[in-house]
Chain A
């Protein structure tokens, strides 16, 4: 197979061996879950339950706060015990609903629908919206919104993202190995909703068995192809994946994939779409990788949304030594969180635990102007220059240099010999520029 890729990028050690071969295990029901009201891009959900209410597993507990929003569901049965600020997977504290479990895991009645492929695209979207599905690769864009492109942007291609280019993480890999058929069903449903002619499943070459497995499953499908991709970070970034697969370039300065007729969904999202259509199941659990060099038994766990990370780590027998850093997500783009009380969200693909040595903070040195950041930037930007503009508060120049095109993949900071915190500087610039643009309006 000829491998496809994109220009730029870096080659961190993938460290997937820790959890790669661990079959997905069911995480035992937690005693309490904390369900953040904002686990997605868009308006936070609004609670429709009150403290003291009894809830069943799968029952809606918060309604969408707008069109670009999703509902939340109880992930265990029990009693709503608190609606308050709780630690959030993005590192701060946000409003969330706490449910104290009754241990019975009594579900709401689900609507079985073996003939879901005969539903109209509109009904399918409705069911996906009701299930509270958002992108499970990390960004968390509401799926029903992504599946409702404006009429002037017809979609001809759906790409499922099974790249999992973040080091350490193996949840997508395990899902492909164990739920391959459901992924294909989900992809077909998405293609039907969008009336898209072509479907691709992009997988990085370090997961050869997943490529083989998925290729086997789509053998009879004329319009679905598995695409083998080079092992390179950030191969799974949306624009890079689209380019590698279709040679189409998503326009810069805020362009969306639908501008080039493409919708990208994570493989886990495809399974959630399938489950929502087939069984009427809301998104209340997902596969999460709990891994790291010091984790005693790294695992891939099917976890209820809202489960505290501390319980998951305990289920993996804890750590061999002192913890230096806990990352919600992968080590390249994930967020270092201050506490293990943080719950798992719909976009939490993994939790990576680093020891104090791995977590060591490096001092920033001076810029050598070596240009390595320019060499690796997958968006063809000039990271050192943007960072320098931000440092000297030249906001307009920073904006002109492509600040907004940066997806914060971290390739530049990964290779910088001076250890300059390029992503951090760029993030400061992004916030400031966004603020200035809001002020203008």
Chain B
């Protein structure tokens, strides 16, 4: 009798997922958003993404070589990080900015903490935060218009002629080159609103006009389909949702984080802006909530492991996002909200460990 049978511990079956399967599935899920980015911003959107992905893989290989560790760049995790760095930056940034973001994400965000599975914060978002802090003007000014649409949904032609005649240069720049969230934030700033033109009643009129344009159903539709500027990857909510459905259907991500995150943003947006459903929709669709909720807050490494924990995490992200948007110094809060909540994950996990089946309450 030959005794060459494999002897190993049960279970002898596996559902055939693996780390690289999970990572590449997320990359695949981002393809619709990639196509949308190319459609709305042009071919260089794809190049920027590839720069990010390849730079991330290269720096991971280099670090693993130096540390004499097995090279694992084909597991998709580094490529995904680099891709997400590009997705979180404006489509108009210089290529080296994306590369620096990706390198920082992998070197400091991931490997400084010990590599895959060890990092406390989402590396791609850390990369974005790093370049935002280092080159703030490059990252936040000169937002790219979509090829066929506008930057924020405000058409200069809609503005009454007499207002245009006296509009301040600052206000004009805002309307023509700032993101919808930035415009919305400025509209909540009374000092800014009062300085838009020289006439107080015109200012009120202009404020109402801009505000209504932002949350008009037409603009909400543009935000959904993607004809409004913004970061490279977040341009089309529709494309992102397609990929997200794929991920949920294939059990790559779980619904709790994105749903609680988005619902929180919706409810708070509704409450903060005079019980307006349009405002709530605007808060969800403008900026990076969809991209963040489905693709970054769900990063397995940096999100809670328990079901209750995931809901707390999602709600926390939503609260911090809205807080930054309405009360903070930045027009957008997705990046920092997720990074902040990442740091709370060990604590959330600790206090949400499930009670064992049949455990007697004490």
Tell me if chain B binds chain A: yes
Within 8 A of A (CB), among B40-84: none
**A382 adjacent to chain B (CB < 8 Å):** yes
A338 touching B5, Cβ below 8 Å? yes
- Bin the interface of chain B by size: 35 or more
Asked if A417 and B17 sit within 8 Å, CB to CB, the answer is yes
Closest chain B CB from A410 CB (angstroms): 3
Cα–Cα, bound, A289→B303 (Å): 43
A215 within 8 A of B: no
Known: A331-B11, A339-B1, A419-B14. A368 touches B300 (CB 8 A): yes
> Assuming A252-B358, A369-B301, is B19 touching A417 (CB within 8 A)?
yes
Chain A residue numbers with a CB within 8 Å of B1 are 310, 339-341
Q: Is the CB of B358 within 8 A of A239?
A: yes
Looking at the complex, which one of A323, A365, A414 makes contact with B18 (CB distance below 8 Å)? A365
Known: A249-B358, A384-B305. A354 touches B115 (CB 8 A): no
The binding surface of chain A is classed by DSSP as loop
CA distance A117 to B306 in the complex (A): 51
Q: How far is the CA of A360 from the CA of B5 in the complex (A)?
A: 11
Asked if residues A370 and B358 are in contact (CB atoms below 8 Å), the reply is: no
Per the 8 Å Cβ criterion, residues 155-188 of A in contact with B are 167
- In the complex, per-residue mask of B337-362: 1 if CB is within 8 Å of any chain A CB, else 0: 00000000000000001111111100
| Contact, CB under 8 Å: A418 / B358 | no
Nearest residue (CB) in A for B116 is A366
Which of B6, B18, B22 has most A Cβ within 10 Å?
A: B6
Interchain CA distance A327-B13 in the complex, whole Å: 11
Complex Cα gap A69–B19 (Å): 46
Q: What is the bound-complex CA distance between A367 and B306, given in angstroms?
A: 15
Q: Please, how many angstroms separate the alpha-carbon atoms of A375 and B354 in the complex?
A: 10
Task: Indicate the member of B12, B21, B115 with the most A CB atoms within 10 Å.
Answer: B12
Report the minimum CB–CB distance from A30 to chain B (whole Å). 15
Is A316 among interface residues, defined by CB-CB distance under 8 A? Answer: no
Given contacts A365-B18, A375-B254, contact A338 B300 (CB under 8 A): no
Q: Of residues 14 to 50 in B, which have CB atoms within 8 Å of A's CB atoms?
A: 14-15, 17-19, 21-22
A341 proximity list for chain B (CB < 8 A): 1
Q: Are A369 and B353 in contact (CB under 8 A)?
A: no
Nearest Cβ in chain A — how far from B216, in angstroms? Answer: 41
Query: Does A28 sit at the interface, judged by CB under 8 A?
Result: no
A149 CB within 8 Å of chain B: no
Distance, CA A413 to CA B5, complexed state (A): 21
Q: Please, which residue of chain A has its CB at the minimum distance from the CB of B14? A: A414
Residues of chain A within 8 A (CB-CB) of B8 are 325, 336, 359, 361
Determine the distance from Cα of A366 to Cα of B5 in the docked complex, in whole angstroms. Answer: 27
**Chain B residues within an 8 Å CB radius of A423:** 9-11
Which residues of A line the B interface, CB within 8 A?
10, 12, 91, 167, 239, 243, 249-253, 255, 310, 323-327, 331-341, 352, 354, 356, 358-362, 365-371, 374-375, 378-382, 384-385, 401-402, 405, 408, 410, 413-419, 421, 423-424, 427
Q: List 14 A-B contacts (CB under 8 A).
A: A239-B357, A249-B357, A331-B10, A331-B11, A334-B10, A337-B7, A338-B7, A366-B19, A380-B356, A380-B359, A414-B15, A418-B18, A418-B19, A424-B9
